[in-house]
Chain A
Amino acid sequence: MKDLNAILAGFGGQGILFMGKVIAYSGLIDEKEVSWLPSYGPEMRGGTANCSVCISDDPICSPLVINPNVLIAMNLPSLDKFINDVQPGGIVIIDSTLVPKKVERDDVTVVYIPATEMAEKNSLKGLANIILIGKLMQMTNFCSMEVMEKTIQKVVPPRKQHLVEPNMKAIKLGAEF
């Protein structure tokens, strides 16, 4: 995958915007061009959250992703809202613990991963979003494990560095799924 043009979507509180920041930071550490744009419009007031993330070798023209080549959906309304916008050949990653539905399109690669359940079983509550990043890494190679480790160290605040290890565990859990 040359450029990453992703939409990440779910409920407020699931760490959707943070998930986007982690992906964007990995691109920054890789010395690529990146952009991160949150939705701050009326939909946010309804409890759903989404953001656009781009990583590219070239300057990014539109930080607003309209037709993503990656969609990560952490709830059903988000999947319904964005599934038809995904580019043919794109990747759709779904947290199957929270989304009971199957995708009807057959021109996209769909992965169902019970990230929320995996997080709970492995004492990584609240890190389902990070597990999903691990899965995305394994599918697209958007960054190396080494870069991701640096990224996690960067996005976790200095006084919370003990959280680096569980976050990396979550990344690996997703990557090995």
Chain B
Amino acid sequence: MAERVLMKGNEALAEAAIQAGCRNFFGYPITPQTELAAYMAKRMPKIGGTYLQAESEVAAINMVLGAASTGVRVMTSSSSPGISLKTEGISYMAGSDLPALIINVQRGGPGLGGIQPSQADYWQATRAPGHGDLHVLVFAPSSVQEMVDLVSHAYDTADKYRMPAMILADGMLGQMMEPVVIGQEEEKELPEKEWAANGHEFKRDHNIINSLYLQAQDLERLVKERFERYEVIKQNEAMCENYMVDDAEYVIVSYGATSRICKAAVREAREQGIKAGLIRPITLWPFPTEDIIKSIPNAKKYLCVEMSMGQMIDDVKLALNGARECDFFGHTGGIIPTPEEVLSEIKKMAGGEK
């Protein structure tokens, strides 16, 4: 049994990636994710891995593309403005069917915004992580332990479906320390990547990694094949935590750091006799639509809480499809909603009933 230790979220992400077999990290510093890169800089040379601080985010993501092409597990990390720079490379990787892990420790935006926690990159992560018709897997941990657990799951899922995965964290999760167990499980044998461009020694045809298809029919066939894969992912890979949702009349939907605050508010509301519940999407793409639909019969109203002006609420409304109303409560970068604020929103929803 591995020991329970205190670790910053950023450092835990890095160590979890190493445990998951990642030996290649390419990045560029930015607050509030810098501890992740610093940890990798310290650890990678000791375990025969590569840590490279690139000249820019654009260079770093293209190094990730190169490493991923050879079939190795690779990671990059940044925060919101840096992720914007990486979107070009992410699109190329999606177009080349390459698995890799990208970390976004979100900060306030738009522009340089601020350096405090935020959740305003939801649209970017789930709608347009790059140009073109594409998706990346998006995981949203809400604790340091879950950050660790999702890293190896993200790698496995990315490998399985041959696509980039993103962990969408925020400055609070990255900076905070919590007890965490990072498993010393035996190194598992990773499945062979038969598509990788890693030297064929004249024993097989050479593999080509490419995202350029000038023949429109070829391009459409490939994109359609990819979207068939996306459908399989939507059916099988959505993850969600439902907290006191079974009999809930007032359902909060919230993810990441904000969901922890909402949980406290739900608990308090229950104590005051209001039937509140929390749906916490753990995957943002694919969005756990089914969990929302299942909660509809008992629910009177929904409330989406985010550290943004309201982005995930679009997916909640799509899932509800007009069956119930959904309100929004949120703050922007750096202002973390308080349990009291969320509770007062719940009370407002519950109206004069209690």
A-to-B contact residues, CB < 8 Å: 21, 24-25, 28, 33-38, 40-42, 60-64, 66
Contact B334 A62 (CB under 8 A): no
With an 8 A cutoff between CB atoms, is B177 at the interface? yes
**Shortest distance between the CB of B343 and any CB in chain A (Å):** 12
A34 touches B179 (CB 8 A): yes
Q: How far is the CA of A66 from the CA of B116 in the complex (A)?
A: 16
CB atoms of B32 and A40 under 8 A apart: yes
- Beta-carbon contact of B261 and A37 below 8 Å: no
A52 to B334, CA, bound (A): 15
Q: Which residue of B lies closest to A34 (CB)?
A: B179
Once the chains bind, are B336 and A64 in contact (CB under 8 Å)? Answer: yes
Q: Is the CB of B115 within 8 A of A61?
A: no
Q: Is B31 an interface residue (CB 8 A)?
A: yes
Closest residue of A by beta carbon distance from B268: A61
Q: Is the CB of B6 within 8 A of A61?
A: no
How far, in angstroms, from A167 to B172 measured CA to CA in the complex?
30
Interface pair A40/B178, CB less than 8 Å apart: no
From B261, which residue of chain A is reached at the shortest CB distance? A62
Cross-chain contact A63 with B178 (CB below 8 angstroms): yes
B127 within 8 A of A: no
Interface residues of B in 235-292 (CB under 8 A from A): 260-261, 263-264, 267
Are B179 and A33 in touch, CB under 8 angstroms? yes
Contacts of B177 in A (CB 8 A): 21, 24, 35-37
Q: A63-B176, A64-B172 are in contact. Are A34 and B32 (CB under 8 A)?
A: no
**Are A40 and B339 neighbours in the complex by a CB distance under 8 Å?**
no
Ranked nearest first, the 4 interchain pairs of A and B with the lowest CB-CB distance are A61-B264, A36-B177, A37-B176, A61-B260
Q: For residue A121, give the distance in angstroms from its CB to the closest CB of chain B.
A: 32
Whether A66 contacts B338 by the Cβ 8 Å rule is: yes
Q: Are B336 and A28 in contact (CB under 8 A)?
A: no
Question: How many A-B contacts at CB < 8 Å in the complex?
Answer: 56
Check: B295 CB closer than 8 A to any chain A CB: no
B residues sitting closer than 8 Å to A (CB atoms) are 4-6, 31-32, 114-116, 171-172, 175-179, 260-261, 263-264, 267, 334, 336, 338-339
Are A36 and B338 in contact (CB-based, < 8 A)? no
Enumerate chain A residues within 8 angstroms of B267, measured Cβ to Cβ.
61
Among B176, B179, B334, B338, which residue has its beta carbon within 8 angstroms of that of A41? B334
B residues in contact with A62, CB < 8 Å: 260-261, 264, 336, 338-339
- Which B residues are CB-close (under 8 A) to A40? 31-32, 115, 171, 175
CA distance A38 to B116 in the complex (A): 11
Give Cα distance in the complex from A37 to B264, angstroms.
18
**B residues less than 8 Å from A61 (CB atoms):** 260-261, 263-264, 267, 339
State the CA gap A72–B173 with chains docked (Å).
24
Residue of B at shortest CB range from A17?
Answer: B177
Known: A35-B177, A35-B178. 18 other contacts (CB 8 A): A24-B6, A24-B177, A25-B6, A28-B4, A28-B6, A33-B179, A36-B178, A37-B176, A40-B171, A41-B334, A61-B263, A61-B267, A62-B260, A62-B336, A62-B338, A63-B172, A63-B176, A66-B338
- Report which of B31, B171, B178 forms a contact with A34, defined as CB distance below 8 A: B178
Residues of A within 8 A of B114 (CB): 41
* Separation of A35 and B175 alpha carbons in the complex (Å): 11
